[in-house]
């Protein structure tokens, strides 16, 4: 990346301060762009869900990995529970979504409780042999007594297809029909998955992030306190693919000590990977015979090596120290998150674009990569972070208001659906994290909380799923690459030309409000 004037400004910049210049391009279509990352994580899109309790859970992990991204499970999750989550995610099908299942004798109330858990909007009714006999959606439950049996409201007209059916075939079977969901069944006719018309389309456009056994990938966070080596060993035993050593201030001795312990445990288990990431895109596979293969080729299998990520820092010095201590990837960002009050409380932090730019250069000199963590509010911000040299961009609160986030779906005074989000250094998060401490220690730690304890994140009725947001992000990044003349993210970083703009320049690029 270079600046349009060839001279970097004398002050730090955030995403709103910069823009991408269009270049002469030979890229004919946005589908010619490969969004696979170069950091060795096996991700096929450059999006990572941050390890926030209100955002990262099993449903989010399954959905993101199926579309090629990653989810970092929070460090506060009990090890036994985390092992169960990882096993569950890795048992999911790489193409077919997990169905919501009830029996004919269950009540409409049971279906209404389950429907908000999945974006596909349907509960499948199965018999005693787990074979599908009907489908129930929200419309079928409208105006019906909540104690009505599902056998009385289920639509018996079901479309079943073998799990080996290509997503394109599923799309064609659904297109133009009243049935909006296809049910994947195994060789015995038992329910194993579901696909809607749009999810079948997405299965042709995205490649899942798979491990060397063809299972969905998942990451997990580790704190810098306690027995870090034991926690690392437990996560390795649980078959976590990416370990994220996480603390708000990553450039400190406690982090370096913890990171060295993680690296030692990974290497002792024989799970390390080559230090220099490969920038080569995944080889193309036959889409008709490879589950999850998409427009860009086949699934990316990054091997059995575990990637070690550490952060957060905002300087080249901090980046170099973490890489030398054992990090393959460094997380960059202090204070830009939507739920974070660090900058207002302490004055500490740095505008995110400049932080990513400097840290990415330092990491690449050592054969490592960075993740841009925080400050992302629009698809353009993701593109700009990648242009600055990040291999992936971490997203938190933006994804909290989706069907896939862990929280319960609530409704405000006007009936609008929302979910609650909160910062991981807030009173709410600290209280949960210190539950086992003494009353005195909990009270003492409560004096140093930073972050918002509750925020309502509304579900957008037009885009209620995290997959809808991924479509917007990936579409924006693909288009940015075509404007730049790049077909890979590494080429995008090399060719990107960035200019600096005023606040009015940023406002000029924003669409007018609806109804203006």
Q: Is the pLDDT score of 411 beyond 70?
A: yes
State both tokens at 516: 């203006």
User: Residue 186: how many CA atoms within 13 Å on its side-chain side?
Assistant: 8
Q: Is 253 exposed, middle or buried (0-12, 13-18, 19+ CB in 10 A)?
A: exposed
Looking at residue 433, its pLDDT comes to: 61
Q: What residues act catalytically? A: 340
How many contiguous H segments (helices) and E segments (strands) does the chain have?
A: 17, 22
Q: Which of 403-407, 428-432, 458-462 has the lowest mean pLDDT?
A: 428-432
Instruction: Please answer whether residues 86 and 431 qualify as being in contact, where contact means their C-beta atoms are separated by less than 8 angstroms.
Output: no
| Residue, of 164 and 453, whose pLDDT is higher | 164
Looking at residue 293, its pLDDT comes to: 40
State both tokens at 314: 């905002």
User: Residue 426: how many CA atoms within 13 Å on its side-chain side?
Assistant: 19
Sheet holding 123-126, edge to edge: 100-102, 123-126, 132-136
DSSP character for 265? H
Q: Which of 313-327, 377-391, 408-422 has the lowest mean pLDDT?
A: 408-422
Q: Is 502 exposed, middle or buried (0-12, 13-18, 19+ CB in 10 A)?
A: exposed
pLDDT band at 394 (very low <50, low <70, confident <90, very high): very high
3-state secondary structure of 102: strand
Q: Is the pLDDT score of 147 beyond 90?
A: yes
Q: Which of 98-107, 164-173, 331-340, 474-483 has the lowest mean pLDDT?
A: 331-340
Beta-carbon contacts of 84 under 8 Å, excluding residues fewer than 6 positions away, are none
Instruction: Please answer whether residues 493 and 389 qualify as being in contact, where contact means their C-beta atoms are separated by less than 8 angstroms.
Output: yes
Q: Is the pLDDT score of 21 beyond 80?
A: yes
Looking at residue 454, its pLDDT comes to: 59
Q: Which of 40-49, 198-207, 292-301, 481-490 has the lowest mean pLDDT?
A: 292-301
List the CATH code of the domain at 100-205. Answer: 3.10.580.10
The topology (CATH level 3) of 2-94+208-291+300-508 is TIM Barrel (3.20.20)
Vertex 87 angle, CA 81 and 93, to 5°: 135
State both tokens at 209: 């992030």
Looking at residue 422, its pLDDT comes to: 58
Give the C-alpha separation, 15 to 170, whole Å. 40
**pLDDT tens-digit map of 49-102:** 999 988 999 999 999 999 999 999 999 899 999 999 999 999 999 999 999 999
pLDDT band at 511 (very low <50, low <70, confident <90, very high): confident
**CA distances, 227 to each of 239, 257, 258, 259 (Å):** 19, 11, 9, 12
Rounded to the nearest integer, the mean pLDDT of the chain is 89
Looking at residue 514, its pLDDT comes to: 65
Mean pLDDT across 202-217: 97
Domain boundaries, the chain: 2-94+208-291+300-508, 100-205
Q: Is the pLDDT score of 458 beyond 60?
A: yes
Vertex 386 angle, CA 381 and 390, to 5°: 115
Neighbours of 481 (CB within 10 A): 27
Looking at residue 289, its pLDDT comes to: 36
% the chain with pLDDT above 90: 73
Looking at residue 423, its pLDDT comes to: 57
Looking at residue 451, its pLDDT comes to: 55
Mean pLDDT across 121-134: 96
pLDDT band at 459 (very low <50, low <70, confident <90, very high): confident
State the Rg of the chain over Cα. Answer: 23
């Amino acid at each position: 990346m270079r600046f349009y004037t060839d001279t970097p400004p004398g002050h730090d910049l955030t995403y709103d301060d910069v823009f991408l210049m269009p270049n002469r391009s030979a890229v004919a279509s946005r589908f010619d762009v490969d969004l696979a990352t170069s950091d060795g994580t096996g991700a096929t899109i450059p999006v990572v869900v941050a390890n926030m309790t209100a955002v990262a859970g099993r449903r989010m992990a399954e959905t993101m990995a199926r579309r090629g991204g990653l989810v970092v499970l929070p460090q506060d999750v009990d090890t036994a529970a985390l092992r169960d989550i990882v096993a569950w995610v890795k048992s999911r099908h790489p193409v077919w979504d997990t169905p919501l299942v009830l029996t004919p004798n269950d009540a409409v109330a049971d279906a209404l409780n389950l429907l908000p858990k999945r974006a596909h909007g349907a509960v499948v009714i199965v018999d005693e042999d787990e074979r599908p006999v009907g489908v129930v959606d929200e419309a079928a439950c409208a105006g019906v007594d909540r104690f009505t049996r599902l056998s009385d409201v289920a639509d018996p007209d079901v479309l079943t297809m073998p799990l080996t059916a290509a997503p394109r075939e599923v799309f064609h079977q659904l297109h133009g029909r009243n049935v909006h969901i296809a049910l994947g069944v195994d060789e015995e006719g038992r329910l194993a998955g579901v696909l809607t018309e749009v999810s079948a389309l997405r299965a042709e456009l995205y490649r899942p992030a798979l491990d060397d056994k063809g299972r969905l990938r998942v990451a997990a966070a580790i704190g810098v306190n306690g027995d870090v080596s034991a926690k690392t060993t437990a996560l390795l035993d649980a078959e976590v693919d990416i370990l994220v050593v996480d603390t708000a201030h990553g450039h400190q001795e406690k982090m370096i000590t913890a990171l060295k312990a993680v690296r030692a445990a990974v290497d002792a288990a024989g799970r390390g990977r080559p230090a220099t990431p490969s920038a080569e895109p995944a080889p193309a596979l036959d889409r008709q015979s490879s589950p999850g293969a998409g427009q860009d080729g086949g699934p990316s299998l990054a091997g059995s090596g575990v990637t070690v990520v550490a952060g957060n820092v905002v300087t080249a010095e901090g980046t170099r120290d973490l890489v030398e201590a054992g990090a393959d990837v460094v997380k960059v960002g202090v204070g830009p998150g939507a739920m974070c009050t660090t900058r207002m409380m302490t004055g500490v932090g740095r505008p995110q674009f400049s932080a990513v730019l400097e840290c990415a250069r330092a990491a690449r000199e050592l054969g490592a990569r960075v993740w841009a963590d925080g400050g992302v509010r629009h698809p353009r911000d993701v593109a700009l972070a990648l242009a600055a040299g990040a291999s992936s961009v971490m997203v938190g609160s933006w994804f909290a208001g989706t069907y896939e986030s862990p929280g319960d779906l609530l409704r405000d005074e006007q009936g609008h659906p929302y979910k609650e989000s909160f910062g991981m250094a807030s009173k709410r998060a600290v209280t949960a994290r210190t539950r086992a401490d003494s009353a005195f220690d909990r009270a003492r730690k409560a004096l140093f909380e930073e972050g918002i304890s509750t925020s309502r994140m509304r579900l957008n009725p037009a885009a209620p799923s995290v997959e809808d947001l991924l479509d917007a992000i990936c579409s924006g990044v693909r288009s940015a690459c075509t404007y730049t003349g790049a077909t890979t993210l590494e080429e995008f970083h090399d060719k990107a030309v960035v200019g600096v703009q005023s606040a009015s320049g940023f406002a000029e690029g924003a669409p007018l409000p609806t109804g203006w």
